[in-house]
Structure 1
Amino acid sequence: MHRFLWILKMALRDFRQNKAKLLLFVSSIVIGIAALVAISSFGDNLEKDIDNQAKELLGADLVLENNQSLGDQVLDTMAIGMASEINFASMVAFPKSDESRLVQVRALEGPFPFYGQLETVPAAAAEGFRDGTKKALVEKILMDQFGAEVGDSVKVGKVSFVIAGALHEAPGQNGITATVAPVVYIPKKFAEETGLIQYGSRINYSRYYSFGEQVDVEKLIEPFEDEWEADHIDEDTVQERKERTGRSFENLSDFLSLVAFIALLLGCVGVASAVNVFSKEKLPSVAILRCLGVSSIDTFLIYLVQIMLMGLMGSILGAALGTVIQFILPEVFSDFLPVDVTVQVSWAAVGFGIVTGLCISILFALLPLLKIRNVPPMMTLRTDADMVNFVRDPWRWAVMLAITVFVFGFSMTLLDGWEEALGFTGFVLLAFGVLWLVGTGVMWLIRRFLPLSLAYPVRQSLANLYRPNNQTISLIATIGLGTAMISTLFFVQNQLLDQVKFADKEDQPNMLFFDIQTSQVEEVKQAVLEEDLPIMQEVPIVTMRMDEINGLDKSENEALPEEEQKSRRLYNREFRVTYRDTLISSETLVEGKLHQVTSPGDSIFVSFDQGYAERAGVKLGDEIVFNVQGRPLKSYVGSFREVNFRKVSTNFLVLFPENVLEKAPKFHVVITKSKTDEQAAKVQNEIVRAFPNISVINLGMIVDTLEEILGKISFVIQFMALFSIVTGILVLISSLIISKYQRMRESILLRTLGASSQIVRKINTLEYFFLGSLASLSGILLSFLATALLSVFVFEFPVKLAWGSALAIYAVITLLTVLLGWLNGRNIINKPPMQILRGN
Structure 2
Amino acid sequence: MSDWSHAKRLALRELRGGTKGFRIFLACLILGVTTIAAVSSLNQSISAGLARDGQALLGGDIDLRLSSRTVTDDQQAYFDQIAQTSHISELRAMVSSGEARQLVELKAVDSLYPLVGGVKTAPQLPIDQALADKGAIVDEGLLTRLNIKVGDSVRVGQTDIVIRAVMVKEPDRIASVVNFGPRFMVSMATLEATQLMQPGSVVRHHYRLGLKDGLTVPATVEDLKERFPEAGWRIRTPDNAAPGVENFIDRLALFLSFVGFTTLLIGGVGVSSGVRDYLDSKIATIATFKCLGASGDVIFKTYLLQILILSALGTLIGLALGAALPFIAANVGSDFFPVQPEGGFYPNSLIAAFFFGLLTALTFAFWPLGRAQNVPASALFRDKITPIQSRPAFKYQAFAVVSAVLLIALVLYTAHNIRFAIVFIGAAAASLALLKGAGALVMRLARRAPHVKTTALRLAIAALHRPGTTAPSVILSLGLGLSVLVAVSQIDQNLRNQISDELPKQAPSFFFIDIQNDQADQFDQTLQSLKDTENYKRVPSLRGRITKIDGVPVDQVTIDPQSQWAVRGDRALTYATQPAEGTKIIKGEWWAADYRGDPQISLDAGLANGFGIDIGDTLTVNVLGRDVTATITSLRDINWKSMRFDFAIIMSPGLLEYAPHSHIAALHVADSAEKTVEKTVASDFPNVSVIRVKEALQSARALMDGISSAIAVAASLTVLAGTLVLAGAMASGRERRTYEAIVFKVLGATRARMVQAYLIEYGVLALVTAAISAVIGTLASWGVITFLMKMDWSFDPFSIVATLVLCLILTITAGFLGTWRALGQKAAPHLRNE
- How far did residue 297 of structure 1 move? 0.9
> How far apart are the structure 2 equivalents of 1:219 and 1:546?
23
* Mapping of residues 238-257 of structure 1, within 5 Å: 238-241=238-241, 249=249, 252-253=252-253, 255-257=255-257
Q: Match for residue 458 of structure 1?
A: 457
Contact 1:137 1:184 (C-alpha < 8 Å) held by counterparts:
yes
- Of residues 270-279 and 148-157 in structure 1, the stretch that sits farther from structure 2 once superposed is 148-157
Q: Give the deviation of 1:656 after TM superposition.
A: 5.1
1:255–1:445 CA distance, 2 compared to 1 (3 A): same
**1:51-62 alignment to 2 at 5 Å?**
51-62=51-62
Deviation string, structure 1 residues 276-315 (Cα, Å, up to 9, x no partner): 2333344454333222211111111122122122212211
Alpha-carbon offset, residue 160 of structure 1: 2.7
Instruction: Classify 1:658/1:60 alpha carbon distance in 2 versus 1 (closer, same or farther; 3 Å).
Output: closer
Measure the CA separation in 2 of the matches of 1:283 and 1:438: 29
Q: What is aligned with 1:87? A: 90
Change (3 A) 1:687 1:357: same
Q: CA deviation at 1:273?
A: 1.4
Is it true that 1:116 corresponds to 2:110 in the alignment?
no
2:70 equivalent to 1:69: yes
2:697 matched residue in structure 1: 703
Matches of 1:547 and 1:349 in 2, distance apart?
A: 37
Corresponding residue of 1:577: 574
Match runs of 1:737-752 below 5 Å:
737-752=731-746
Which position in structure 1 is the counterpart of 2:432? 432
The code of the aligned residue for 1:459 comes to R
Q: Where does residue 104 of structure 2 map in the other structure?
A: 103
The one of 699, 702, 713 equivalent to 1:719 is 713
What pairs up with 1:558-707 in 2 under 5 angstroms?
576-585=573-582, 587-598=583-594, 606-622=601-617, 636-655=631-650, 666-676=661-671, 679-707=673-701
Q: Deviations over 1:182-228 (max 9, x none)?
A: 42111111112212111331112222222366542322343232233
- 1:591 aligned partner, one-letter code: K
Opposite residue 90 of structure 1, the aligned amino acid is A
Please give the alpha-carbon distance, in whole angstroms, between the structure 1 residues aligned to 2:765 and 2:63: 61
The one-letter code sitting in structure 1 at the alignment partner of 2:615 is L
Residues 765-811 of structure 1: CA deviation (Å, up to 9, x unaligned): 33222222222222221010101111221111122111122212221
Question: C-alpha offsets along residues 135-175 of structure 1, whole Å, 9 cap, x if unaligned?
Answer: 21222444455554333344322223222222233235344
2:471 aligns with 472
* 8 Å Cα contact 2:759/2:812 also seen in 1: yes
Alignment-derived partner of residue 511 in structure 1: 510
2:38 and 2:268 map into 1 onto residues whose CA distance is: 18
Shift of 1:641: 1.0
Q: Identify if the C-alpha distance between structure 1 residues 625 and 114 changes in structure 2 by more than 3 Å, giving closer, same or farther.
A: closer
Partner of 2:828: 834
| Corresponding residue of 2:726 | 732
- Match of 1:597, as an amino acid? A
> How far 1:541 sits from its partner (Å)?
1.0
Local SS of the residue matching 2:642:
coil
In the alignment, the residues of structure 2 paired with residue 127 and residue 602 of structure 1 have an alpha-carbon distance, to the nearest angstrom, of 51
Post-superposition shift, 1:601?
7.1
* Residue number in structure 2 paired with 1:441: 441
Look up the SS of the partner of 2:107 in the other structure.
strand
Q: 1:610 deviation in Å?
A: 1.3
Q: What letter is aligned with 1:56?
A: A
**What amino acid sits opposite 1:53 in the alignment?**
D
Of stretches 21-30 and 292-301 in structure 1, the one that deviates more from structure 2 is 21-30
Equivalent position amino acid for 2:682 in 1: V
The answer to whether the Cα contact below 8 Å between 1:29 and 1:271 also exists between their aligned partners in 2 is yes
User: Which residue is equivalent to 2:130?
Assistant: 129
Distance 1:365 1:171, change over 3 A: same
Aligned length: 828
**Structure 1 counterpart of 2:94, one-letter code:** M
Contact 1:23 1:310 in 2 (8 A): no
Contact 2:541/2:573 (8 A) holds in 1: yes
Cα distance in 1 for partners of 2:92, 2:524 equals 22
Check whether the contact 1:593–1:639 (CA below 8 A) recurs between aligned residues.
yes
CA 1:625–1:828: 2 relative to 1, 3 Å: closer
Aligned to 2:320: 320
* Aligned counterpart, 1:759: 753
In the TM superposition, 1:380-391 aligns within 5 A as: 382-383=382-383, 390-391=390-391
Equivalent position amino acid for 1:816 in 2? L
TM-score if structure 2 supplies the norm length?
Answer: 0.89
* Equivalent residue number for residue 223 of structure 1: 223
Q: CA 1:156/1:605 → structure 2, altered by over 3 Å: closer, same or farther? A: same
1:772 matched to which residue of 2? 766
Q: Distance in 2 between matches of 1:547 and 1:750?
A: 78
Given residue 116 of structure 1, which amino acid in structure 2 is its aligned partner? G
> For 1:112-261, what aligned pairs fall within 5 Å after superposition?
112-124=113-125, 126-130=127-131, 132-177=132-177, 179=179, 182-211=182-211, 215-241=215-241, 249=249, 252-253=252-253, 255-261=255-261
TM-score normalised over the length of structure 1: 0.89
Once residues 332 and 556 of structure 2 are traced to their aligned partners in structure 1, the CA distance between those partners, rounded to angstroms, is 47
Could you say what secondary structure the match of 2:748 adopts?
coil
Following the alignment from structure 1 to structure 2, what is the Cα–Cα distance between the partners of residues 383 and 235? 71
2:290 is matched with: 290
The one-letter code matched in structure 2 to 1:489 is V
TM-fit CA distance, 1:408: 2.1
% identical equivalent positions? 22
- Report the Cα offset of residue 627 of structure 1: 8.4
Q: Is the 8 A contact 1:38 1:323 kept in 2?
A: yes
Give the C-alpha shift of residue 675 in structure 1: 3.0
* Kept in 2: contact 1:176–1:336 (CA 8 A): no
* C-alpha separation in 2, matches of 1:145 and 1:547: 38
Residue 646 of structure 1 aligns to a residue whose secondary structure is helix
